[in-house]
Amino acid sequence: MLAVGDSEHLPVAEARAGDAKAWDILFRRYQLPLYAYVMELVRHEQTALDVVQETFINAVRHLKSLREEARFGSWLFSIAHQKVVQQWRRKGREREWLTDGMMEGGVEFATAEAGPDESLVGQEDQAELLKHLERLPLAQRSVIVLHYLEDFSIEEIASITEVPLGTVKSRLHHARLALRKQLEGSSR
Mean pLDDT lowest among 74-78, 112-116, 120-124: 112-116
* pLDDT > 70 in the chain, percent: 75
Q: Place 2 in a pLDDT band, splitting at 50, 70 and 90.
A: very low
How do residues 70-101 score in pLDDT, each as one tens digit? 889 999 999 999 898 888 777 654 444 333 43
- Give the tens place of pLDDT for each residue, 131-168: 788 888 988 988 988 888 888 899 999 998 989 999 99
* Rounded Cα gap, residues 97 and 66, in angstroms: 31
Whether the CB-CB separation of 173 and 142 falls below 8 Å is answered with no
Which residues, including other chains, have CB under 8 Å from residue 43's CB and lie 6 or more apart?
98, 99, 102, 103, 106, 134
Task: Answer for the pair 172, 144: CB distance below 8 angstroms, yes or no.
Answer: yes
Please state the domain extents for the chain: 1-103, 112-188
What is the spatial distance between Cα 171 and Cα 184, in angstroms, rounded to a whole number?
A: 20
d(CA 127, CA 187): 14
The top-level CATH class assigned to 1-103 is mainly alpha
Q: Is the pLDDT of residue 13 over 50?
A: yes
Which CATH number fits the domain 112-188, given the four candidates 3.40.1800.10, 1.10.1380.10, 3.40.50.720, 1.10.10.10?
A: 1.10.10.10
